[in-house]
Structure formats: C-alpha cells, structure tokens
C-alpha cells in the first residue's frame, strides 16, 4: 500500500496536472535503505550561546562519514553544496537574548537545505533551568522547532532533542535516527533523553543482531512491517496474531525466517501461553531471553459515545490496553525479559488529539501513553526501556476502511501533506528497540508528519 496521491502527483502526468491546478505536490520522502549513507550530503553544526554538544555531534557525524561544513553566513547563504542537515546546539541558552543566535544560524543554513533535509535542535529541558529567563529561552525552542517544521518544504523535517546534563552519552543513537531516512515521517517532535548506560555502538546494518523480538498483530499492516524491519535489522521475530489470521501470519513469519505464534492476546490464558512459548523456544534453540516486545495489535470499534454498546467499549480496551498491561506484567513476573529489554507500545494520535466516534479507541491509546510513563522508572532500574509510538495517519487496511472524504483529509493535514507508510512506524519502533536507544525511556514518539491534530 502507498499514498496514491503522492505517487500520482510525482508522476509525469500528475506533475503537470497538479501544477496547472495549483494543487499541493507532496514530496517523495527519503526513506532508509540498507547500505545508504546517514546523510546524502554535508551537514552544518552551529550553536546559540555556549553549547556543550557541538563536539559530540561533530564526532558522530564524522564517524558516519558525513562532511561537516562551517556555519553559513547570512550573505553567503546561496553558495556551495546543498546541505543535507542543519544542527543547532542550543544547550547554551541563558535567556531570550541568546535566541537571536539561533535565528542567525538557522536562517541562512535552512535556505541551503536540500529536499528531505533535516533540521535538528538540541537543547536542555526547560524543567531543569536555573532561572525563569533560561526556562523561557529553553521553552522557546519548542515553538521554534514546531514552526520551522511547518515552514520546511520538499519532505524536509525539523525535530528537537532535549539533552539534560549527564545524558550526553544517550545522544548518538537518537541523533543518527533523526538524521537518517528512518525518521522520514517523524516531524515537529520533541524528545527528552535520560542519562543511561549506552552500550558501545552496534552494527549500523544489523543493530538488532542476535536479539529476539516479539511483535503482536504481525499478520498484516503496521505489525507485518515491524516484523520485516526488525528481521532486516537482525532480530529473530516471534510474530503473534489471532488464529483467524493464521495463514497471513505464517506468510509473514516464513518470509523473514521468524516464528509464527497464533494467540488471541485478550484470552485469559494469553500471557501464560506466551510466556510458555517463549520459554520453550529459549530451551529449544539456546537463545537468551526476550530482548524486544512490540505491543502493536489494536482494533477500532467506532461509534459515538452515546450510541456505544459495552461490547464495543470492552473489546477495544481489552486488545489495545489491558492486553499490553497484562502481557508486560506476565513477562516481568516470569523473568523472561532480558535485563536491557526494550518494550514498545503502539498508541495513536487519537490518544493525544481525541477523535469523534472513537472515545473507546482514544481512551485506550491515551492509556498506553500513561502506562509507559508510569513504568519507565522501573524499567530504567534494570537498564531496560519502555516507550510508546503514536502513529498519525498511516496508509493501511485499517485506514482504507474509512469513508473516502475523511481518509483524504486525514492523510493531508500534516506538514508533509501525505499519509505515512507502515514502514515509517516500523523504523521508529526498530530504532527504539536498539541497544543505542537506552537513553530514550517513558517517551511517546509521534510518527505523524507533524499532523495538525493534537499538535
Ligand atoms: N493505521 C493507522 O493509521 C494507525 C494510526 C494510529 C495507530 N494505529 C495503531 O497501529 C496498530 C496497527 O494498526 P494497523 O493499521 O496495522 O491495523 P490492522 O487492523 O491492519 O492490523 C492489526 C493486527 O492486529 C491483530 N489483532 C487484533 N486483535 C488481536 C488480538 N486480540 N490478538 C492478537 N492479534 C490481534 C489483527 O488480526 C491484525 O493483524 C494498532 O494498534 C493501531 O491502533 C494505526
């Protein structure tokens, strides 16, 4: 499945038609392919105030083979090779006056940004500020980055990462993610890192080598894509879905050399059966415990609240929220999770913005966000993480069932003017599952092209 309008608008005939009618022409996004360089061109790194991360960023870029150019001056803005990334170290902000430095650096550099370029702002969390003036300047980054993201053209994105004092080692993995094609549909987002023991850098091509990853709802849609991306990145995938989806599930699992496990995750004995299955597998092939669990299975049963029966309400809560809670708890209790396990829970933009006709769904997906936030400190104690990913409009069978008007509007009202693909959600989840994402915990990452809903 793909976003039909983006494909059409970028065809020869479609380009002519959209130009003549003045219709938007969404860009074809730079998406990750194995073997691809981190960036397809040079990057520039600048600072506002006395930043402390410039050297770290430059080292990560050079290590990835990226040419780092000197900051562009306002009058030299149109010369030279187009930039693939513009990175601002704003960790030195002391008050609003320093923000002029951000403007002075970003404006000429962004003029030279190539299509599918990346703007990334690194700052310190406003909550840790030493004075109201510093908190104001740090919080200003929020409005700045969200606005830049809305102004960028041609598939370029802007995001911010808050790096508290002591969390410098957590930066490299997120930095590489945001610059790479893996983050194609992540736009206008702010991520806060935590201090963590980050293992030495993994293999870029196989960051999940030797890992065992459980993916629920893996028979189709986003879940099938998660399973495929995880396997591409080196994981052995245990693909879980309901028995009625058994044939599709087997196809997905066989296609990636994984294992299919038919299970209705809402069944009373589902957590126990999953634990037993994982223990047997561990005994059979001598593997370690489970490294990654992706709670992706989800359903919708839409109705206005006043017309909603208990069956609709309860079934959505059971699949989308209660099963995630029960299975995670059972895996913890049974001690089948590796100490540095990664749990990724699929939420939804509806859980942030709310959606008419989806009180049950939105409540369940908001619940997922609360759950990961509450569990994060417990996971951090053992070196593990738990995060949520909130997809916006993603082109799948779930969204194909929407009325055409709702579907078309839903997929266009974002800064990238297109629906995301399952692989965009999968890449984000695979990144959160990597050892190098140790410093990302309790967060909800939206994969929504900076949707206007809930922004
Ligand atoms: N498609 C979107 O635009 C979108 C947006 C936001 C969030 N999401 C979320 O992403 C996830 C995947 O969505 P999708 O669009 O791929 O949906 P989908 O309907 O195409 O796939 C969901 C899968 O989950 C499985 N499943 C359902 N109930 C199950 C159960 N009780 N036990 C085991 N498996 C079960 C289904 O059989 C199916 O294979 C869901 O959690 C969904 O809420 C999707």
Tell me the C-alpha distance between 236 and 229, whole Å: 11
Report the separation in Å between the CA atom of 332 and the middle of ligand 1, taken as the mean of its atom positions.
24
What integer pLDDT is reported at residue 386 of this predicted model?
98
Q: How far is the CA of 431 from the centre of ligand 1 (A)?
A: 20
Angle among Cα 369, 371, 375 to the nearest 5 degrees reads 125
Question: If you measure from the C-alpha of residue 217 to the centroid of ligand 1, how many angstroms do you get, rounded to a whole number?
Answer: 6
Which H, E and C letters describe 89-158, residue by residue?
EEEECCCHHHHHHHHHHHHHHHHCEEEEEEEEEEECCHHHCCCHHHHHHHHHHHHHHHHHHHHCCCCCEE
pLDDT at residue 11, as a whole number: 79
270: closest CA among 299, 310, 241? 241
Residue 149, CB half-sphere, CA atoms under 13 Å: how many? 29
Atom nearest to 422 CA in ligand 1: 16
In this structure, CATH architecture of domain 212-447: 3-Layer(aba) Sandwich (3.40)
pLDDT at 4: 78
Query: How many Å apart are CA 168 and CA 180, to the nearest integer?
Result: 20
Residues whose CB is less than 8 angstroms from the CB of residue 410 and which lie 6 or more positions away in sequence, other chains included: 393, 399, 402, 419
> Edge to edge, what strands does the sheet with 68-69 contain?
68-69, 43-49, 83-92, 113-123, 157-162, 190-192
Q: Ligand 1: which atom is nearest the Cα of residue 219?
A: 39
- Predicted confidence at residue 399, as pLDDT, reads 81
162 has catalytic annotation: no
In the predicted model, what is the mean pLDDT of the chain? 94
pLDDT score, position 454: 81
Q: pLDDT tens digits, the chain, 455 residues: what are they?
A: 677 778 877 877 777 777 777 777 889 999 999 999 999 999 999 999 889 999 999 999 999 999 999 876 655 444 578 999 999 999 999 999 999 999 999 999 999 999 999 999 999 999 999 999 999 999 999 999 999 999 999 999 999 999 999 999 999 999 999 999 999 999 999 999 999 999 877 788 999 999 999 999 999 999 999 999 999 999 999 999 999 999 999 999 999 999 999 999 999 999 999 999 999 887 776 666 899 999 999 999 999 999 999 999 999 999 999 999 999 999 999 999 999 999 999 999 999 999 999 999 999 999 999 999 999 999 999 999 999 999 999 998 878 888 888 888 888 999 999 999 999 999 999 999 999 999 999 999 999 999 999 87
CATH H-level, domain 38-192: superfamily: NAD(P)-binding Rossmann-like Domain (3.40.50.720)
254-296 pLDDT, tens digit each: 999 999 999 999 999 999 999 999 998 877 766 668 999 999 9
CB atoms within 10 A of CB 326: 18
Beta pairing partners, 414: 451
Single pTM value for the model: 0.96
Pocket mutation for ligand 1, best pick of 253, 295, 299 (most atoms within 8 Å of C-beta): 299
Cβ atoms of 361 and 398 within 8 Å: the answer is no
Give the separation between CA 361 and CA 351, rounded to whole angstroms: 7
- Ligand 1 near 345 CB (within 6 A): no
pLDDT score, position 77: 46
- Choose, from 5, 162, 185, 361, the residue flagged as catalytic: 361
What pLDDT does residue 78 have? 46
* Ligand 1 proximity of 391 Cβ (cutoff 6 Å): yes
- The rounded Å distance from CA 298 to ligand 1 centre is 4
Which residue's C-alpha comes closest to atom 40 of ligand 1? 298
Q: At what angle do helices 422-432 and 221-232 cross, to 10 degrees?
A: 50
Tokens coding 29: 């996004």
Q: Is 10 helix (H, G, I), strand (E, B) or coil?
A: coil
| Residue boundaries of the structural domains of the chain | 1-26, 38-192, 212-447
């Amino acid at each position: 499945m793909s976003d039909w309008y983006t494909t059409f608008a970028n065809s020869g005939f479609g380009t002519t038609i959209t130009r003549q009618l003045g219709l938007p022409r969404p860009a074809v996004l730079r998406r990750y392919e194995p073997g691809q360089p981190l960036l397809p061109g040079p990057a520039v790194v600048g600072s506002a105030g006395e930043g402390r991360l410039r050297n770290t960023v430059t080292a990560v870029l050079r290590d990835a083979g990226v040419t780092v150019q000197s900051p562009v001056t306002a009058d030299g803005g149109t010369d030279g090779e187009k930039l693939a990334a513009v990175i601002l170290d704003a960790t030195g902000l002391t008050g609003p006056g320093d923000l002029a430095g951000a403007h002075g650096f970003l404006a000429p550099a962004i003029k030279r940004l190539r299509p599918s370029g990346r703007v990334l702002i690194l700052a310190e969390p406003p909550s840790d500020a030493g004075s109201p003036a510093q908190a104001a300047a740090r919080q200003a980054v929020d409005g700045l980055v969200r606005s830049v993201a809305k102004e960028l053209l041609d598939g370029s994105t802007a995001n911010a990462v808050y790096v508290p004092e002591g969390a410098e080692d957590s930066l490299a993995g997120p930095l590489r993610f945001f610059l790479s094609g893996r983050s194609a549909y992540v736009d206008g987002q702010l991520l806060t890192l935590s201090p963590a023991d980050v293992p030495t850098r993994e293999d870029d091509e196989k960051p999940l080598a030797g890992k065992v990853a459980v993916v629920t709802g893996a028979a189709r849609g986003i879940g099938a894509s998660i399973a495929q991306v995880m396997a591409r990145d080196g994981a052995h995938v245990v693909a879980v879905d309901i028995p009625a989806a058994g044939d599709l599930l087997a196809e997905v699992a066989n296609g990636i050399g994984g294992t299919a496990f038919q299970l209705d995750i809402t069944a009373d004995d589902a957590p126990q059966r999953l634990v037993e299955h994982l223990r047997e597998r561990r005994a059979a092939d001598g593997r370690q415990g489970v490294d990654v669990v992706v709670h992706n299975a989800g359903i919708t049963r839409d109705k206005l609240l006043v017309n909603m029966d208990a069956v609709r309400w309860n079934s959505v809560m059971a699949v989308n929220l209660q099963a995630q809670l029960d299975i995670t708890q059972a895996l913890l209790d049974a001690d089948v999770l590796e100490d540095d396990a990664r749990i990724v829970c699929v939420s939804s933009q509806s859980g942030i913005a709310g959606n008419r006709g989806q009180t049950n769904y939105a409540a369940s997906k908001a619940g997922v966000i609360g759950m990961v936030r509450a569990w994060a400190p417990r996971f951090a104690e053992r070196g593990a993480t738990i995060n949520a990913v909130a997809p916006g409009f993603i082109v799948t069978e779930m969204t194909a069932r929407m009325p055409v008007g709702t579907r078309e509007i839903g997929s266009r009202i974002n800064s990238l003017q297109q629906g995301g693909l399952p692989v965009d959600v999968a890449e984000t989840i695979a990144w959160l599952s990597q050892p190098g994402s140790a410093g990302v915990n309790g967060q909800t990452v939206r994969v929504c092209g900076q949707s206007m809903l809930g922004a």
